Amino acid sequence: MPGHKHILEIKGAAEIRDDEDLLQGFEVQGKTPSLVTRVAVTSKHIKLSAAIENAALWPAENGPEDLVPAEIFKAHIKQSSESSLQAKV
């Protein structure tokens, strides 16, 4: 999320899948992917990213204090006529 120096780190076992029923859930604009990556998450946490901080991609210290990425995404989905992965930016 622009303005933040943190990332969500997940750990677990990943597998590449081609199950037709699973692929259908990722269809966007009539296009279905050939493969998807499924991750069985064993741990997750938000942490500071030294790479983002060192890259100085944006002036994070100037971002609004009340910026909540989850709320922005939720509002985006509510405004879109599509749902889930098909929601337009």
Q: How many H-runs (helices) and E-runs (strands) does the chain carry? A: 3, 2
Q: Which residue has the higher pLDDT, 1 or 84?
A: 1
Over residues 57-85, the pLDDT tens digits come to: 776 566 667 777 778 777 777 776 665 55
The pLDDT value given to residue 79: 74
CA-to-CA distance for 36 and 28, rounded, in angstroms?
A: 13
Which tokens in the block code for residue 46? 């938000």
Over residues 9-35, the pLDDT tens digits come to: 999 999 999 999 999 988 988 999 999
CA-to-CA distance for 48 and 5, rounded, in angstroms?
A: 6
pTM: 0.52
Question: What Å distances lie between residue 32 and 16, 35, 89, CA to CA?
Answer: 15, 9, 19
